[in-house]
Chains A and B, each alone.
Chain A
Amino acid sequence: MASLPFTNDIRTLRFLAGEMTQGELGDRVGVTRQTIAAIEQGKYSPSLEVAFRIARTFDKPLEAVFQWTDGMS
């Protein structure tokens, strides 16, 4: 399985948001807890809409949540 060309800080942002659970974040974004877990683990690349919804939930810009990994095309 190829790894994604970007990483994310969702776990940290959930912690800073008062230990928000994956299920709570999923409810706010409109996806399941399993999908949030898969995104955090780099097993699923979310749609642009879900990526923006996650960023808006934490009141952060998209690039504060998802970071492109240098050196990958």
Chain B
Amino acid sequence: MNFREKTAWLNAIAPLAAYTLYFGLILAGHPAGREVFPMLWLFGSIAIAHAITAMIGTAILWARAPKSERARADERDRAIHRRGATIAYYVLLVGTTIVAVYMPFVTSGVPLANAGLFAIVASGLVNSVVVLMSYRRGWHG
């Protein structure tokens, strides 16, 4: 498994773990599901932890990769990432549309914000999974 594929795994697993924790706590009744400041604290903490994990993980993978694998992304890498971004865009589009339809039925902004965050996180995960599958199974772009 090369550097880019390992990075794709990291970009799939790190947000999955971080936001499973976030949305799991909300479903379990954490105040972040109802109140603004607990939500900001919880989401902020988890987002920062996720960002730091991703940065440190990428740095470790980069440092351990052979020099040949650290080369700039080529046309195949770019095509794979375009494919992931394109499919993720449609997930985000559907997610934000659902949030917009949901909007008139709620009075508090917190559930809306969480629904919007879920759409963003879901599209990011779809992006990572598509990239990973394209590296693993081949890409005929």
Contact = CB atoms under 8 A, between A and B. Distances in A.
Q: Do A and B bind each other?
A: yes
Contacts of B64: none
Contact of A38 (B69, B71, B139): B139
Given A30-B74, A32-B74, A32-B77, A43 B138 contact: yes
Interface residues on A, range: 10 to 19
A43 B139 contact: yes
Contacts of B69: 32-34
A73 B73 CA distance: 32
A50 interface: yes
Contact of B75 (A1, A41, A50): A50
A30 B74 CA distance: 8
Contacts of B2: 34
Contacts of A32: 68-69, 71, 74, 76-77
Interface of B: 2, 4, 68-69, 71, 74-77, 137-141
